[in-house]
Amino acid sequence: MLQTGSQAPDLSLPSVNHGTVSRRDLPGKRIAWLFLPSIIHEELGAQLTRYQENIATFEELNAAIVAISDASLEELQSLAASRQIKFALLSDPQKSVWKDFAAPDCDQPIQPTVFVTDEQNVIRAVYEAARNPNLPGPLALARAIRRLNDAPKPALVTEQDWRIGPLDAPVTLIEYSDFQCHHCRELSHVIEQLIAVYGDKIQVVHRHLPLRQTHPLAQVAAEAAEAAGLQGKYWEMHHRLFAANDALERDCLILYAREIGLNVEQFISDLDGHRGEAPVNEDWRQAVQSGIKLPPTLFINSILFEGARTEAALRARIDSLLA
């Protein structure tokens, strides 16, 4: 079953009272995709009625409700009439869309399941039948969608970012980090291991978030990385700074520049001239503006990763997305 952070598949299905509906018909909207079995028992039907009764709440959140069932269009028309449902009811008798969301070889009956996608069609939440046999309540789901407004979200990755891996890699890791932060150093080592395992299947993006008040050497270290980047050796300096164990004074930075083969005179000029200050400050400004407050903060496919930042935990998430 597709997990949070996965790109939702496209679809185009006939709908009761809405003609043919596709994802492209709902641009810029969050969508709750309700998967329904062909037989709607009384309790599940009553829950659908409650969804219709609360449809204005979802509209206020710029969200749409779309239900998909393997029932025939005629059966769904009868359901819509009996329950006075006006949101889109899509007929998928071959369960093709259900298989795209659940599993290609899934021949089991559709179970009541909800996938919530954001404006970029990325899955942000999954409610499975095992825990929600008759769908989550509409107000609980609305609260979850509302929380998406408050969740920190990274800026889009561009060619200007410091990154390893192809821009179109299926999985993107964005780390907001501080070179004087012990936990950031640990995460950087884990990410290096992930790069070795996954290669071009992942893209890694590093952004600066120096804690200037508590880590007085973090800003100058970040500027040193930018100065190395001007000579095409950002990542070499990145790795060396994290290996330095907080030895980030100016003399040490110059020594590292020599170690990685930089033009040392040019590096000193760029470092002392603060040529890296503006990009570091811009990363910091965008992070704070996006609600990202403390390093290390890690996003996987633009979704905040809140689990243990271990190699095993991150590989489990990446494997689920690649699958």
Predicted confidence pLDDT, tens digits, the chain (323 residues): 788 888 898 899 999 977 899 888 888 899 999 999 999 999 999 999 999 999 999 999 999 999 999 999 999 999 999 999 999 999 999 999 999 998 766 677 888 999 999 888 889 899 998 888 899 999 999 999 998 877 898 999 998 999 999 999 999 999 999 999 999 999 999 999 999 999 999 999 999 999 999 999 999 999 999 999 999 999 999 999 999 999 999 999 999 999 999 999 999 999 999 999 999 999 999 999 999 999 999 999 988 998 889 999 999 889 988 87
How many Å apart are CA 135 and CA 138, to the nearest integer? 8
Residues 169 and 299 in one domain: yes
Last residue of a domain, one of 122, 150, 178: 150
Burial of 130 (0-12, 13-18, 19+ CB in 10 A): exposed
What pLDDT was estimated at residue 106? 63
Residues 144 and 292 in one domain: no
What pLDDT was estimated at residue 194? 98
Residue 203's domain is classified under what CATH number? 3.40.30.10
Per the structure, the complete domain to which residue 290 belongs is given by: 162-322
- Considering the domain boundaries, does residue 36 fall inside one? yes
- Considering the domain boundaries, does residue 231 fall inside one? yes
Residues 91 and 207 in one domain: no
Residues 178 and 283 in one domain: yes
- Residue 285, CA distances (Å) to 174, 185, 244, 273 in order: 16, 22, 26, 21
Residues 216 and 309 in one domain: yes
Q: Is the dihedral of CA 297, 301, 307, 310 positive or negative?
A: negative
- Residue 159, CA distances (Å) to 152, 231, 263, 279 in order: 22, 17, 25, 14
> Going by DSSP bridges, is the β-strand pair 171-177/162-164 parallel, antiparallel, or unpaired?
unpaired
Residues 187 and 293 in one domain: yes
Last residue of a domain, one of 109, 129, 150: 150
